[in-house]
């Protein structure tokens, strides 16, 4: 019989039981469910709602159950619907009467929210760690190839030369914002719903502050959030609003209906994951391109490549293709959750049971994407010779040449036009800008002088960059220093 | 001829011109484009890249153009592609040679990013303001109906009684988190890309810090972000990380490639809007339900209702249906942007031109949804009599009765079972729990005593709630006080 | 060592192997993979590419492997990547050399497409069957409640009376279109890619027509399919294009690149599922509403309801909430697939490995939704008494009254206005239209006569409907007859 | 005053009026709205519901209004909400009393559905035409480059050689399925809802068959449509169901509630567009890649390229980037519509007003994408010399070599392994397979003989393909013939 079966005369049909069960996936919450029950039992005892003896039996029983689950000895039962009922019923089997008191002043509505927030909090920490690992791998790759110039693209057409390190650090910077988003989300999610009960709270004398603190929703938070997570990207607010700060000391929901019925914390979480996934999909695309025969800039090691079942010569950069492709499911998961929540009235609706699988899938996927991207970054080589040979094509120095004319006080638009004509000449001749003689250049504009050759060629172009954040060697070196320090990388620059 | 036409021999076909133009929508950025050009021209002059005379002519010309646009006298031209080219070309028509120098050390790539961020920053401020208005309207509605008890629902089945104010404040709390998300996004977006040029920066001696500051990307930010926006939900980080704070003083991108090619700032923005839209869709659903004949709890005034072209008796809560429905386009806009950015290699790709319309549409839609929700809230009446008459149905006091038994030391599970049987008895008799005689109750459990009647009935149930955040009168009153103060509402409680 | 390992010197890292494996989910294709291999082996033998002896050993080995899998005795290995490699390698373990010849003139690219199409074809048949079951359940429910009048809603406001059967048949009609979409998709998907090999076909003398026919891609279709349905080659124009007809007799891809690299067949499939899911979400919403205390029209039996862990009186229509909610994942699955395919160059990319899980999930979910909806329909009762009592509210007869005036030659707009005023009078008096005296009615319009009372009241309103497809009793009865015949229902109308 | 204002005492607030209006976008339906009104008025007259005189005045008034709209002289008014009310009210201004009778036995609910279906039907025809134009452009491009061999890719790694024509025809085949989906959708959508009125039909003696026929919903279809396509009633089973066939002769909804409240016809339409958009996004990606410096296979003419505002040398394939990017909005539009419809109860809800803009946007976008893709195809040149020079790289003949061994009775897996080792040798020597001496080859496998050189090299590889649908010259030539005939292309093969 179901634990809620009091007023029911018929039992649920098999099809309905199978369709409505969640134990097949929500058992992933077992550790956090037990954590929540421990805190709840301790609070009930301190408040006199159960005896200390009951509490001790409950805690001992929960230890036993946790052990069984971890040893794979726990029999999950579909007829017990979900993780909460499975554990509570097993506890009753184990310790009897005291277990029947555990659900005092608690509903599955606040219980599942609590479990899920605890789970997500851990997931965010795990993702942020992997973001950092990928950042480190990218910075190391930048250090290994510090002076290497590559073509910079817009429209996938060659645009201007950039240092490879500069390009790699663009990803590092994007990932830093990704971490910032996750940490903001963590802060906003880290409020304790336990004690909201079904939706309205309770008349029993519970202490929500005690459970909140025990579960790390309040004070521990203050200690645990490392300030350096403050990214360059959050937390700006000085002087602090002390009134609201006081409120924050107790990170519990002040409205019980909101506490149990909103899922914005996972919507925000999956949004953040989706944006990270987009960044990784772009890295995936870029590296798949660069590993092609036509680009030939990047050589993945055999350990991160796969072959073909029919074509013996193939060596494919599959991990990065899958990184690109798996972004799709992270986005699909977000869309599922958005559609799920749309138009639901308050408070809890059973639809919300569907909130978990997209989150589990999104987390698993994004973690894999980050791990494999880092592993790939650690196992690629840039084909410096091929890159160097390829650099002359595409007139990457054309803009530098236009800037040369600007320095000679030619208005930029006129400069642009002059250089455009010089490029057209090169195209017709199939030569480089630096191959044009001074006379040829002067036939287009008399402003050209012999110092022009200090601005032509890819190396000269790179040398000329100087603006803050640009691809100039010193600017990039400063960026590298910043990240090496921030990410606490022990620097072993090559050569 | 196109401004970039130097090396081109054929002009673009009509179909391509029409397909690739963006002027039909990006002219919405004109104000921010001009703002950016002003800052850029001033910087160029101070750095000696143009003369003060050129700068003055440019600034005067920009004033003239801005005036014309605002007076509707500016002729936008499709052959000039976009807002940037339209304004620059018009400036050239107006002031000649100096205008040709304006694009020095600037590309449309960093220009459009700058314009768009400035536009989004303003949009966020406008949305946050509307969120506050809706919060005020909801709090006022709560104040107007302060003692009113309504059924609380889970699964759209009657669950427990709640105060209407409690339910309304759940939305207020959700909206507060919505504002928090937008403000976090604003902080993360408020970095200046100007000076990143096409993707690599420049060799011309520009001062990115000067333009950044002039456009409010740095110092002004520090002053302008009102600390009270610190929601109860962000900004936790004490002691502050002064190293990163220093960095923040200059809110410019340190990596030019990242600056021009990432669109995570709009992805985050539209994610935040989508979550707000979900909240509003739930409000819409709830109020549409409550306005139905069957619920009959809520009466919209004629001024926020519409009729039917065929059925003369109809009075429909259309604005809230549309609030619910329009959430769909906010979500669709987010999906468009995510799909757009997926798998693009660095740096700028023309695909990104498609980033604007979804953002414009999302902003316009969410603003309308917030405004109309507030207007609706100001024009509804709760049908107190009908609600009161409806309260007895659904055994809303059953959980209170179970808590009564818990207080008598019956384990909760047993209490739940006992009350379940009492409810079954009521169902078979078609009566209320409070209609059962003590003998009848005791036939189910001898623990029932005559004090049980202090726990039965909806009013008694409400009186019994006491936990923090619960629907108990005092708890809700505290919540109301909190919001009245925070939202700076001058309180005129009724009755 | 991997089967494709010839040119590889290092083995794949664990993280990459885990990330790129698909065996954890694509083993679901085992039956269709074996089916394909059987057909392929038989063809290779007939074409002289392998000996009959080899073929026999292969077929015997495949039987053995299929048996093991079905008995749960097959050890799936992650290091063998996917279902194809697992089965082929196991076959090699089992029968040795001949197994090494099975992959002749075949690539995993065409193999997986073939397997997946066969799987989807079966899935469509299974879904269409469940659609029919739900239709039958709905028609039976309509028959059981044949004369029952319920309020019809627009804007969730009461609009006009309708027969419950009419409302239920609206769903039946929608489901019929859903089946139509699936069957169109089946036709368009039922083309054989086997023999396209990696992307370019082969120089070995294979017979694609033979494998296609053996796998039911051609001949069986020829018999079942009216020629004009010969979609992918649009075919709506008569006289029939006999050239293309001939082509269609062999439903194989005529372009090998298209055959292996397109996934439009699953995009179309998941689109069709999404539309069905939308229909079911609407049914879910409607029945959740109708089961609420406030509507009270629909009583689910205990066998399709669940209770609350805290509130003893609750009886929730969870299955229909979940039907509504699970529509979200069907839509999310579609979005995943769309995002996945966007912007991929030809031909196969590893991203496409991600095509399977969304399809598996979509199919499993939609099947569950259909089954449970049917089961729910079989286990609900309409509360006829409560419905009858509720009918007078909402002036459902107002439009009938306006039509009355039209019959008296009052222009419709004027009629609408007159009835609007009559309704306003009722609202102020809190009475029904039929409660107004003739004098009162005539004070609004002198056109009213005493025959007006034959048009007032819900029963009269229903009697008056007569247009084709309307809710008039005879029209609905005709609809019922149509569906009873079409769905082959043995009719036992009640009372 | 609103046309539905009878029972209303207050007028709508400005904000609500602005938020709920649809005239700003639904005026696009004017032509189809007038078409519907014409048919409706004629039917009302024939049925005696209005006089012939009234009808004539209405028809004349509608002509006048249509003329004004087309001449830009019609003043659309927001206070008149939508296109229906604007036209009806203008008609009343114009012809007085008779106009008030036009809305007899009609509601905006069935009216808007009718208009929208007529609009969509035209849109589908326009899209299918553009699909055909793109197919023609692609076939012509294939003809122009008939013998040209290009690398075929999987994983963006070089796989096997293919004829360019073969690759282009893959797109042609995909587009053919796209057209098929649209035409199926057209059939399923082409049912007439007019006469369903608000949701329940009417008691007035209308003739739905007459309006349906007048609007092309029935008879014209009967002629054009092979009966078995009679979709929505799935119809795949022969012998044909003559009962339902008769029903189909009049393509009108048999259930009025379904007729006004379902939007599956646009969900299906936008799904079809999304799949087409995916195909075009892949074409966009491929051509952007091929136009890059690194590939260098494709040269767009200046007339379909654009330049850079800062980099004078740039020539960007913008149209194809935008084709790729705009796929995002087509998908976003579909998602909007799905979210919109999710969970709406029957019948019409105001949310559904939001169904139009996504459809308008999707149609406009997909038409532009098709047009510009065709124009691009007509204006590109393949760089035959560069392609030829590039072909040797990537060992495109490796699979042909493996097939060679298979023909010598080496099991395929062993062949694959042997060739893998040969490729490894080439990689270490930086040479081609054909550069290996027979001795070297025989040192890997003694099966190699001197005839092996007839299988090496890209030209030999192509010559060897012979399977149906393969890239062999004859196979591709057959495909070309098929499409040239089917698309009615007058063939002028080059050289």
Q: pLDDT tens for residues B441-492?
A: 999 999 999 999 999 999 999 999 999 999 999 999 999 998 999 899 986 5
Chains that touch A (3 or more CB pairs under 8 A): B, C, D
Interface test with B, best of A254, A469, A483 (most B CBs within 10 A): A469
Q: Is C128 exposed, middle or buried (0-12, 13-18, 19+ CB in 10 A)?
A: buried
Q: How far is B346 from chain D (nearest CA, A)?
A: 13
Q: List the alpha helices (DSSP H) in C342-457.
A: 356-378, 384-390, 398-407, 412-429, 438-444
Element holding A219 (H helix, E strand): helix A219-224
Is A68 buried (19+), middle (13-18) or exposed (0-12) by CB count in 10 A?
middle
For B299, phi then psi, to 5°, come to -115, 105
CA A293 to each of CA A407, B174, D428: distance values in angstroms, whole numbers, following the listed order: 40, 52, 16
Q: Measure the CA–CA gap between C103 and C110, rounded to whole angstroms.
A: 11
pLDDT of residue D237: 27
How large is the ipTM? Answer: 0.94
CB-based burial label for D79 (10 Å; 0-12, 13-18, 19+):
middle
Average of pLDDT values for B381-399?
Answer: 94
Whether A308 is a known active-site residue: answer yes
Examine the residue annotation and report whether D244 is marked as an active-site residue of this protein. no
Distance CA B125, CA B128 (A): 5
**Tokens found for residue D14:** 């400005």
Strands (E), A56-188: 149-154, 157-163
Interhelix angle A356-378/C318-341, nearest 10 degrees? 30
Which one, of D120, D225, A349, lies nearest residue B159 by Cα? A349
Sequence-distant (6+) residues with CB within 8 A of C399 are B310, B311, B312, C159, C160, C419, C461, D197, D198
What's the whole-number average pLDDT of chain A?
A: 90
**D143-196 tens-digit pLDDT:** 999 999 999 999 999 999 999 999 999 999 999 999 999 988 988 888 899 999
Report whether pLDDT(D436) > 80.
Answer: yes
pLDDT over 50 at B226, yes or no: no
Q: For residue D275, what pLDDT is reported?
A: 98
Per-residue pLDDT tens for B60-112? 999 999 999 999 999 999 999 999 999 999 999 999 999 999 999 999 999 99
Residue D226: pLDDT band with limits 50, 70, 90: very low
Measure in Å the smallest separation between the Cα of C256 and chain D Cα atoms. 5
- Identity of the residue in D151, D157, D313 whose CB atom sits nearest the CB atom of A398: D313
For residues B193 and B253, is the Cβ–Cβ distance under 8 A? yes
Give residue A3's pLDDT: 66
What does the pLDDT read at residue B8? Answer: 76
The C-alpha atoms of residue D92 and residue D103 are separated, in whole angstroms, by 11
Round to whole Å and give the CA distance between C20 and C85.
14
Could you give the residue ranges of the DSSP H alpha helices within B4-156?
14-20, 23-26, 30-46, 52-70, 83-95, 108-144
Two structure tokens written together for A313: 């010569």
Give the model's pLDDT for residue B3.
Answer: 65
| Least confident span in B46-55, B255-264, C241-250 | C241-250
Residue C447, classed as helix, strand or coil, is: coil
Residue found by looking up tokens 């019989």 in the block: A1
Compute the distance between CA of residue D423 and CA of residue D417 in angstroms, rounded to an integer. Answer: 10
Cα pseudo-dihedral D273, D276, D280, D283, rounded to 10 = 170
Inter-chain CB proximity A221 and B228 less than 8 Å: no
Q: Are β-strands D149-154 and C380-382 bridged in parallel, bridged antiparallel, or unpaired?
A: unpaired
Burial of residue C273 (CB within 10 Å: 0-12, 13-18, 19+) is buried
Chain centre to alpha carbon of residue A110: 27
| B356-378 vs B264-290: helix crossing angle, rounded to 10 | 30
pTM higher than 0.90 for the full model? yes
Task: Report the alpha-carbon distance of residue D22 to residue D354 in Å, rounded.
Answer: 9
- DSSP, collapsed to helix, strand or coil, labels residue B26 as helix
Residue A251: pLDDT band with limits 50, 70, 90: low
Chains near D (3 or more Cβ pairs under 8 Å): A, B, C
C-alpha dist (Å) from residue C383 to C149, C160, C295, D93, D310: 11, 19, 10, 49, 74
* 3-state DSSP assignment of residue A381: strand
Per-run averaged pLDDT (10 residues), chain C, 495 residues: 70 89 96 98 97 98 98 95 96 96 95 97 96 97 96 95 97 94 89 93 93 74 33 29 41 84 96 98 97 95 85 87 98 98 94 97 98 97 95 93 94 93 91 96 96 95 94 94 90 54
Specify the long-range contacts of residues A119-124, CB closer than 8 Å, at least 24 apart.
Answer: A119/A28, A119/A29, A119/A32, A120/A189, A120/A265, A120/A266, A120/A269, A120/A359, A121/A186, A121/A189, A121/A190, A121/A216, A122/A32, A123/A269, A123/A359, A123/A363, A124/A182, A124/A183, A124/A185, A124/A186, A124/A189, A124/A269
CA distance C36 to C41: 9
Report angle CA C199, C203, C208 to the nearest 5 degrees: 70
Helix or strand (DSSP H, E) at C380:
strand C380-382
End-to-end C-alpha distance for chain B, whole angstroms? 73
Per the DSSP assignment, residues forming a β-bridge with B252 are: B192
Tell me if B420 and C317 make a contact (CB, 8 A cut-off). Answer: no
Neighbours of D301 (CB within 10 A): 15
Whether residue D476 has pLDDT greater than 80: yes
Instruction: Tell me which of A123-132, A236-245, A269-278, D272-281 is least confident.
Output: A236-245
Parallel, antiparallel, or unpaired: how do β-strands B298-300 and B157-163 relate? unpaired
The partner residue sitting opposite C321, judged by closest CB among B155, B310, B401, is B155
- Nearest Cα of chain B lies from the Cα of D6 at a distance, in angstroms, of 7
Cα A53 from Cα C286, distance rounded (Å): 49
Asked if residue B374 lies in contact with residue D17, where contact means CB atoms within 8 angstroms, the answer is no
- C416-461 pLDDT per residue, tens: 999 999 998 998 999 999 999 999 999 999 999 999 999 999 999 9
Q: Which residue has the tokens 């627009």?
A: C154
The whole-angstrom separation of Cα C24 and Cα C21 is: 7
- Per-residue pLDDT for D221 more than 80? no
C237-241 contacts at long range (C-beta below 8 A, 24 or more positions apart): C237/D224, C238/D224, C238/D226, C240/D226, C241/D486
Chain A residue closest in CA terms to C376: A16
pLDDT at B220 over 90: no
Residues of chain B in contact with residue C313, where contact means CB-CB under 8 angstroms, are 394-395, 398, 419-420, 423
Residue C288 near residue C301 (C-beta atoms within 8 A): no
| Whether the Cβ atoms of residue D373 and residue D280 lie closer than 8 Å to each other | yes
A445-489 pLDDT tens trace: 999 999 999 999 999 999 999 999 999 999 999 999 989 998 999
Predicted local confidence at residue C239, as pLDDT: 30
Nearest CB to C294; choose among B295, B310, B316: B295
- DSSP secondary structure letter of residue B278: H
User: Largest alpha-carbon pair distance within chain D?
Assistant: 100
CB contact under 8 A, C342 and D327: yes
Q: B173-201, pLDDT tens digit by residue?
A: 999 999 999 988 988 888 899 999 999 99
Asked if A230's CB is within 8 angstroms of B203's CB, the reply is no
The CA distances from residue C193 to C74, C188, C253, C267, D474, in Å, are 28, 13, 6, 17, 19
Is 80 exceeded by the pLDDT of residue B225? Answer: no
Name which residue leads in pLDDT, A178 or D216: A178
Shortest CA gap B481–chain A (Å): 12
Torsion D257-D261-D266-D268 (CA) sign:
negative
Q: Would you call A472 and B348 a contact, using CB atoms and an 8 Å cutoff?
A: no
Closest by Cβ to A158, choosing from D293, D335, D395? D293
- What is residue D369's three-state secondary structure? helix
The residue ranking higher by pLDDT, D244 or B172, is B172
d(CA D38, CA D50) in angstroms, rounded, equals 13
Sign of the CA dihedral with D240 first, then D244, D250, and D253 last: negative
Residues of B marked active site are found at 155, 308
Asked which of A290-304, B221-235, D265-279 is least confident by mean pLDDT, the reply is: B221-235
pLDDT of residue C252: 65
Which stretch of DSSP H or E encloses residue A258?
helix A256-261
Task: Give the helix/strand (H/E) hosting A122.
Answer: helix A108-144
pLDDT > 70: what percent of chain B? Answer: 91
Local structure of D443: helix, strand or coil: helix
Average pLDDT value for residue range D460-470:
94
């Amino acid at each position: 019989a179901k634990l809620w079966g009091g007023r029911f005369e018929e039992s649920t049909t098999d099809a309905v039981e199978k369709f409505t069960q969640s134990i097949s996936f929500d058992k992933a919450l077992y550790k956090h469910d037990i954590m929540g029950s421990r805190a709840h039992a301790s609070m009930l005892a301190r408040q006199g709602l159960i005896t200390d003896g009951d509490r001790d039996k409950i805690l001992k029983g929960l230890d036993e159950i946790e052990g069984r689950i971890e040893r794979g000895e726990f029999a999950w039962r579909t007829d017990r619907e979900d993780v909460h009922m499975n554990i509570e019923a097993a506890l009753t089997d184990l310790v009897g009467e005291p277990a029947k008191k555990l659900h005092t002043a608690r509903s599955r509505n606040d219980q599942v929210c609590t479990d899920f927030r605890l789970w997500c909090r851990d997931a965010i920490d795990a993702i942020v760690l992997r973001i950092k690992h990928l950042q480190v791998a990218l910075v190391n790759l930048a250090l290994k190839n510090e002076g290497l110039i590559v073509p910079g693209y817009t429209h996938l057409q060659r645009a201007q030369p950039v240092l490879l390190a500069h390009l790699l650090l663009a990803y590092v910077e994007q990932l830093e914002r990704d971490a910032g988003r996750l940490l903001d989300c963590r802060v906003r999610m880290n409020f304790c719903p336990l004690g909201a009960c079904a939706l309205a709270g309770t008349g029993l004398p519970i202490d929500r502050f005690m459970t909140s603190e025990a579960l790390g929703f309040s004070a521990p938070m203050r200690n645990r959030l490392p300030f350096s997570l403050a990214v360059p990207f959050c937390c700006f607010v000085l002087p602090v609003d002390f009134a609201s700060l006081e409120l924050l000391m107790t990170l519990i929901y002040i409205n019980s209906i909101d506490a149990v019925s909103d899922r914005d914390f996972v919507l925000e979480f999956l949004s953040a994951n989706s944006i990270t996934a987009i960044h990784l999909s772009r890295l995936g695309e870029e590296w798949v391109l660069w590993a092609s025969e036509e680009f030939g800039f990047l050589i993945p090691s055999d350990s991160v490549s796969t072959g073909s079942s029919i074509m013996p010569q193939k060596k494919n950069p599959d991990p990065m293709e899958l990184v690109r492709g798996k972004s799709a499911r992270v986005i699909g998961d977000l869309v599922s959750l958005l559609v799920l929540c749309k138009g639901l009235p308050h408070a809890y609706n059973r639809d919300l049971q569907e909130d978990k699988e997209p989150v589990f899938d999104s987390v698993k996927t994004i973690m894999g994407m980050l791990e494999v991207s880092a592993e790939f970054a650690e196992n690629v080589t840039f084909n410096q010779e091929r890159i160097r040979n390829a650099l002359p094509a595409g007139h990457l120095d054309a803009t530098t040449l236009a800037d040369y004319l600007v320095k000679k006080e030619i208005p930029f638009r006129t400069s642009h036009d002059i250089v455009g004509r010089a490029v057209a000449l090169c195209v017709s001749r199939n030569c480089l800008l630096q191959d044009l003689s001074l006379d040829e250049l002067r036939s287009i504009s008399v402003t050209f002088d012999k110092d022009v050759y200090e601005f032509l060629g890819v190396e000269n172009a790179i040398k000329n960059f100087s603006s803050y954040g640009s691809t100039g060697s010193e600017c990039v070196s400063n960026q590298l220093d910043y990240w090496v320090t921030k990410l606490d990388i022990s620097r072993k620059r090559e050569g």
